[in-house]
Structure 1
Amino acid sequence: MPLSEHEQRLLEEMERSLYQNDADFVATVGGRRGRPAYRSIVLGILIAVVGVGVLIAGVAFQIPIVGILGFVVMFVGVLLAIAPGKRSAAAPDASTPGSASGSAKQTKAQQAGFMNKLNDRWDKRQDGQS
């Protein structure tokens, strides 16, 4: 059963509102990203390569504890390489402390207004069908 023109308009409006709210959510939660910490990336890759070497040595000499130790070193290297830098995580809070809380309040108010509109429309629709 196809949707009526009124229902199609409502659906399109809801989609637009959802896309707008998602963009607002990403902007408030995502924050700014600073430069990547190249030193951490390079150091992490080097540690991971050393870990792979130790892992291979442990397998080649059939010493399980050396292989496990190599895996742990490799894992730590990968975590170090992919972990965000300390500056990029602290940058949004340190640069504009007032704007983040203001935008969060504004986003909550927009979401509450959107939900109220949806509830009102739902009530009107249910009243019309009864």
Structure 2
Amino acid sequence: MPLSEQEQRLLDEMERSLYHNDADFVATVGATRLRPNYRSIAVGVLVAVVGIAALIAGVALQQLWLGILGFVVMFGGVLIALSPAKTIRTVSKSRAGRSGTKQGFMDRLNDRWDRRQDEQH
């Protein structure tokens, strides 16, 4: 069952508040999106191809040391290509605090609740 617009807005506000008030927790949990590092992938693939060429050359020339070196270079290239990606923050700090004061999420919810109760009476 999809969320109503009000529920979606409340969920978005809760998420922004979490990012703003508890950045350490967000970093620990890993609530950031990953972006592939294309430079590392390209360099890693090139290094791996050089390693494969050295490995094949070592076998063709019957040079054990060249084959081992080629394997090590190839393995290093794969590790470079699979290195951890950079992360992107999904919520900026400037958007998280609208009122200018350092109120917590629950304080803002309580204020909103009080305003609604006052409007009804």
Shorter chain as normaliser: what TM range?
A: 0.3 to 0.5
Q: Per residue, is there more helix in 1 or in 2?
A: 1
TM-score of the aligned structures, taking structure 2 as reference length: 0.47
TM-score by length of 1: 0.44
With a CA cutoff of 8 Å and minimum separation of 6, indicate the structure with the bigger relative contact order.
Answer: 2
